[in-house]
Amino acid sequence: MNRKLKLCILAASCFGMGAFATKVADSTITVAMLQQAKQLIGLNFTTAQLDSATTELEDFRKGYERIRKVPLPNNVAPALVFNPIPVRYTWPKEQQKFEVEIPGKTKLPANRDDLAYYSVPQLAALLKSKQITSEELTRFYLDRLKKYGPTLECVTTLTEELALKQARQADQEIKAGKYKGLLHGVPFGVKDLLATKNYKTTWGAAPYKDQQIDMDATVVQRLQDAGGVLVAKLTLGELAMGDVWYGGKTKSPWDLSKGSSGSSAGSAAAVAAGLLPYAIGTETLGSIVSPSTACGTTGLRPTFGRVSRHGAMALSWSMDKIGPITRSAEDAAIVFNAIYGPDGKDLSVYDAPFNYSKSINPKKLRVGYLKKDFEGKYGFKENDEAALETLRKAGIELIPIELPDLPVNDLIMTISVEGAAAFDELTRSGNDSKLKQQHKNAWPNIFRSGRFIPAVEYLQAQRVRTLLVQQMQERMKDIDVYISPSFGSSNLVVTNLTGHPCVVVPTGFQKNGMPTTITFIGKLFGEAEALALAKLYQDLTPHDEKRPTAFLAKP
């Protein structure tokens, strides 16, 4: 065996990371190997100290082999659960009535194709008043998915048989006066890392493209319990990164030569093109914000610990979050209201109320903004400045704040380590070679590299993360919501690490015709306030009402 490769492999095992090949573990660990290995992590031990460690490290390595024999499917979480709650932090305990009005004068459009861009309350009004049946509406969206889905490459599976069954059931319930609420009879889609009974759950990746998980994820079940109609599983970049999946590359409806970004690629593309009223996405480090930007949708990334991830593919147990992708903040609030809260299966979920209602006056919120970040040079600056000016003119006083000064980009190793563990079997089996993306920054290399991150350094990073949580609390103690550039700032990294909720909304377009967005960050469990401010902005501007012309009804 190549000596350099052997040293690297043994370096991994020596510092708590495991070997890649079982046969290599038969080699005796020597001082020479450890002298090379210590350089990987930037530490200095004497020869005598290394010699003393060899016996212990041999025992560790034997332990790795025994642990590897224990079956650990992706749905088995570590015993450690990330806690995003700062010391002495409290949130309101009282659950108030959720309030969104159903518009009373909504009528069927003369051109049925115009239904594609009706809001959730508008569709609810049509269904509740029996102007259209859920089955008719479901067939309408199925037809659009069949027509435009191949163009956008945004669908992995149409759940047509299930959808029609659920739609007919919804019609019977509505006819019998058993109306469940705003989502009753309304079709939806989910990112294809959420398990669904009797349908494949592919995770966007070739090694899993025929995988079937015999359960419904909690989010899927809750939407179905609310009367929702599941019509499609939607694409994601393989194993939740980017917009390239085993079947192609998901496109932005605004420019078919460009990708929809990722990893909630299909969810954002389908909603933007009017193929669905709403869809479910997930975010670990931008996977709702980024495709919402590329597609011009509204996305809600909830607080970490808000929505159960039971039945969802795990990439990073301490950073994964599930949220809705819609065309407006109010639609996002409606969907979120159906999916948040404990289920007794995901132990990271907190029991905190979601009090979105007309009682929130966004003009009375204390609103911060990242002044220095907005003053910097970055791509969306002109539209961001216009967005801030719109809010100022509406009477919002913007309070300058700054993010903590900590090495947050270095904490991204969290995903490398947790992802390497989540897909350990994929790496050790060599099946990572079946993934479509094989470049330096793709998962196969990230997972392999993650094996070389010492457990001690990972835990030290999490301790810095604790400082970040505490310092963010200090920055936000006197505000309810703050505004940040979607990109061109460290905010996306910071708030994904701390677990703060984010609402991303369209603000216009770049010169190349692609959308731009801005983000509203709430306090922990403060989705209601962030959504209320985002709704105010959308009420004042037309950006969320813009539609990609290629998918509009022809007169």
d(CA 540, CA 543): 9
- Whether omega for the bond prior to residue 263 falls within 30 degrees of 0, making it cis, is yes
pLDDT per residue over 418-439, tens digit each?
Answer: 999 999 999 999 999 999 999 9
User: Which residue has 């370096």 as its token pair?
Assistant: 11
Instruction: Read off the pLDDT band of 85 (50, 70, 90).
Output: very high
pLDDT per residue over 293-333, tens digit each?
Answer: 999 999 999 999 999 999 999 999 999 999 999 999 999 99
Closest CA to 301 of 283, 318, 320, 326: 283
**Integer-rounded Cα radius of gyration of the chain:** 24
Q: Where are the domains of the chain?
A: 1-70, 112-350+362-407+461-551
- pLDDT for 7 equals 32
Comparison of pLDDT for 27 and 246, the residue scoring more: 246
Closest CA to 139 of 118, 181, 119, 167: 167
What SS3 state is found at 252? strand
Mean pLDDT of 235-257: 98
Residue 286 to residues 307, 459, 502, 532, Cα–Cα distance (Å): 17, 23, 10, 22
Mean pLDDT of 201-207: 98
Over 50: is that where the pLDDT of 82 sits? yes
Instruction: Answer for the pair 57, 13: CB distance below 8 angstroms, yes or no.
Output: yes
pLDDT per residue over 153-176, tens digit each?
Answer: 999 999 999 999 999 999 999 999
Which tokens go with 35?
A: 């002298």
Q: Detail the DSSP E strand segments found in 60-173.
A: 155-158
Q: Provide the mean pLDDT of the chain.
A: 94
pLDDT per residue over 20-29, tens digit each?
Answer: 344 545 689 9
- The architecture in CATH of the region 112-350+362-407+461-551 reads Alpha-Beta Complex (3.90)
Mean pLDDT of 172-185: 98
Over 60: is that where the pLDDT of 64 sits? yes
